[in-house]
Structure formats: structure tokens, C-alpha cells
Structure 1
């Protein structure tokens, strides 16, 4: 959910099975969503009614705090789509994939609900790496999503951050989209790039390729506003768990927070520090904090730049010259 940055999320609940397993966790994780209730053709009326009541209670609970809206006709679709960006409503569709019941309403909703993000092809290029491959006869290949700008064959982009937080210039040898060679890709599209002069072990998931004009800096620490979805006890400073930010997957330490302890349902502004490697992150990016089950969701609000190895050497050299 963080890696592909969806505009919206749908949680599907089987009318005959109801709320089972990780449904509650998925609902808490997808705080803005619509809920199609499937298999209504094979479900007795009393079971369907009980499932709908349970979904309504879950949507209204402290973890979600949304208003459930049952979509039964085109007017309901328009009302739900218009109010959906407010993040206060949760549209619910009763559908059957066998009989096709209400699938037209779900399609109408998906067609008219507005995009949450504005994609601009004229912005500096930003490519997020989701996977790394080695292809015989081609070399190192990375796949991912163009988050902004337009990227063309033979463009030189900055790849990083590496283990010391630096970005290195690399040309894009070729571009493939949906298994077909193309000359360029633009924001919002997924693609694969063949890279020159670099081995597979030098590239990892979570790295980015950026327009040199962006002058990127890496970070080991950042501030975020988080909501604790579920934790059986309390969370205190030095608590560690896995962070998901875009395609980044790395363990981080909760360094500081404004409250003494955090419990389920609490909101706070906290400071995180990555355990192993510096990363490239931007304010406004959504994040998930988990340890087994999802613990918290939030948004990056401030990034603390890290001095690169070259900058550290320059400072040390300047200090030595002064003495």
C-alpha cells in the first residue's frame, strides 16, 4: 500500500464469511476506503444483515471514525464520490460477481471519484525503485514507478542513496513498459530501466533515481505525525519496529515523542532513526509502522538531512587546516 501509493483502497468482505482474520487490521490500515461486500447471491438475508451491522460498527470505531454510506443507486454513487475526498465517509457496496448485482454502481464510483494527487510531467524526474534484477546480456535492471516528471532513454539520473548516503550519476540505457521497449515514461507509470556501469549488489529496493537539479540529500532521522492503531501495551522511546515508506523497508528506532507513552488510538509527533542505512524521503509521504501486526500509520512532516561521507571529509579537512 505504501510502495504503489494508491489514491484509494477497497476492502472486500465476503457477506457469508463476515469479518474474519485480519479484516480489522486491514480496515485500520486503509483509513480511506470503500468496502464492497461480495457474494450476496449466496448469503442468507439474516447473515448479510449481521455482516452489514458488524462492518458499520467497525467503520465507526476509534480506529477509523468514518460515516458508513450504503450505495444503492446512482444518486448514492454521486453523493459518495463527491464527499469521499473529505475522508469522513466510507461508501459500502453490496455486490455479486456471479449475478453482477451492483457492479455497475461500483464501476461508476471508481470512474467519477477524483484523484487525490496531481501528476505533473514537467516536474523534475523522480523514480522509485521497487525491484532489482540481473538480466543476462543486459546487466542490472531496476523496476518501479515514476512519481514525477518524464524520463527518456539516455537521460542521466542520480541513483541513491548508497550505504554512505551519496547519490551517483547513471545513464538510462533502455526503458521497458509492459514488456515493450519505449523511448520515455512519464509520472504515474511503472517501468523497468536497464542501467550502465553498476552491479546488482550496488542497488537495493527503496533507492531512487532523481533529476540532478533536485540536489537530493539522504536522511537517517525524520519527524512524523502518527496514529497508533493497535498495541497491547504502551510504546516508549527506543521502541523498534519495521518502517514502510514508499518502497523503503527498514527497521527504525522511535527516538523521541512529545507524550510520555503512546497507547492504542493515540496521536503524536515523533522522531524516528533508521537502524542500518540512510534513505531518501520527502515530507508529506505516508508511512506504516509495524511489528508483526500493524502498529501505526502516519505522515512524514520533517526530514533531518545527513551529511554525506564527502561532506564529512571536507569538514574534517577544513578543521585540520584551521588548526
Structure 2
């Protein structure tokens, strides 16, 4: 097997033509790891600095992907902060619950990449420790889908927090689909 090392400018050209490069990297010696690092450093960010600043000016919105109970810590949620800024010790609300209400909570601590941090900004993924918050009041998103088309949903189990532009994962049995909210009524 041959490993070809391309100059960084060639990687940049290929990446703009939507070709996915394959890197042969040794997990033992680290050979060609520098090439992967160069490639990752030249990838453009998903949002520019102006868009990122606008997102951080909005109210915090954290989408929960995972819920854990950690001994001596309490309830911990993992997910992504889609807008705003979340700080350690900040008081937020969570919901909607099955009854449609929002409940107050306090962010006890924040971790990113298994390291403690005090501030979480829009676009960052993290875990938030909520302390003694009742885990049964939290749930991950659960959506159902029909056929491939423009669809209208009516949530019958419990309310959902949605806004136009929100990306959604649709699941029905083993079938999954991705979509976004076009409008709300």
C-alpha cells in the first residue's frame, strides 16, 4: 500500500470540488497525521463570524440529544447549543413537558470534550449537569414521519418546541429521514 503526501494547496483544490479525501494514517507511528491536521485546518467554518455573533445575541436554545444520571452529580444532558450563550450557574427553563409547561432549572456545570468549561456558545456541543433536576421531566426528541413529501405534523403525545428552520430527524421503525420546519400554525 502506498501513501501519497499531497501539498496542502492540492488538498484545498480537491476539497472545493466536493471530493472526499481518504487519508492513510498510522495509529501506531502517527505517520501522515500532519496531513490530516492541515486538511482539517483549511476547512471553512459552518458559519462566518457575523452569523456566529448574531446567533450568540439570541436567547439560549439547547437541544437535548442524550440524558444521563451520574452518581454524585445528578441529571446530565448532552446536546448542542443552537443559539445564545449558556454560562455555568445560569438559570434557564426546560420544556415543553407533557403538559406543555416549561420548568426552571440551574446549569450546575458544563463540559466540552470531557473538560470543564464555564461558557458555552452557539454551535457548540456539550454536556450540562443539572443537579437534582427530575430526569423523568426530560426527554429526547421523538418524531414520527410519513412518506417522502412535504408533510404536516400534529403532535399527539406531548408538545414540542419548534421554530421555522429547525432541523429534524424523522424516525418510523428502522426508517429515518431528515427534514426541517418550514412553517408553524
Q: TM exceeds 0.5?
A: yes
Say if 2:142 is the partner of 1:249: yes
**Number of residues of Structure 1 aligned to a counterpart in Structure 2:** 174
Cα pair distance change 1:280/1:79, threshold 3 Å: same
1:94-105 matched pairs, under 5 angstroms: 94-98=22-26, 100=31, 104=35
Name the one with the larger helix percent.
1
The structure 1 residue matched to 2:158, chosen from 242, 263, 277, is 277
Deviations 1:280-322 (Å, cap 9, x if unpaired)?
A: 1232233343445555433221123xxxxxxxxxxxxxxxxxx
Contact kept, 8 Å, 1:253 with 1:273, in 2: the verdict is no
Q: Which position in structure 2 is the counterpart of 1:141?
A: 76
Contact kept, 8 Å, 1:119 with 1:187, in 2: the verdict is yes
Mapped to 2, the partners of 1:181 and 1:277 lie a distance apart of 34
Deviations 1:49-83 (Å, cap 9, x if unpaired)?
A: xxxxxxxxxxxxxxxxxxxxxxx6544423344x4
Runs of at least 5 residues in structure 2 that lack an aligned partner in the other structure: none
Cα pair distance change 1:156/1:102, threshold 3 Å: closer
Secondary structure of the corresponding residue to residue 271 of structure 1: coil
Secondary structure of the corresponding residue to residue 160 of structure 2: coil
RMSD (Å) for aligned C-alpha atoms: 3.3
Say if 2:25 is the partner of 1:91: no
Cα pair distance change 1:109/1:194, threshold 3 Å: closer
- 1:162 Cα deviation (Å)? 0.4
Cα pair distance change 1:201/1:114, threshold 3 Å: same
Runs of at least 5 residues in structure 1 that lack an aligned partner in the other structure: 1-40, 43-71, 84-88, 206-247, 255-261, 305-323
Mapped to 1, the partners of 2:119 and 2:20 lie a distance apart of 39
TM-score (norm 1): 0.45
Q: Which has the larger radius of gyration?
A: 1
Mapped to 1, the partners of 2:80 and 2:46 lie a distance apart of 17
Deviations 1:75-125 (Å, cap 9, x if unpaired)?
A: 4423344x4xxxxx4313243234957972x54333222122343333321
Cα pair distance change 1:302/1:96, threshold 3 Å: same
Deviations 1:122-153 (Å, cap 9, x if unpaired)?
A: 33212222222333443323232222222223
Secondary structure of the corresponding residue to residue 142 of structure 2: strand
Cα pair distance change 1:293/1:132, threshold 3 Å: closer
Deviations 1:155-180 (Å, cap 9, x if unpaired)?
A: 21111110022212222233344445
Q: Which position in structure 2 is the counterpart of 1:172?
A: 107
Mapped to 2, the partners of 1:280 and 1:202 lie a distance apart of 15
Q: Which position in structure 2 is the counterpart of 1:23?
A: none
Contact kept, 8 Å, 1:93 with 1:102, in 2: the verdict is no
Mapped to 2, the partners of 1:137 and 1:148 lie a distance apart of 30
Mapped to 2, the partners of 1:127 and 1:139 lie a distance apart of 18
1:16-35 matched pairs, under 5 angstroms: none
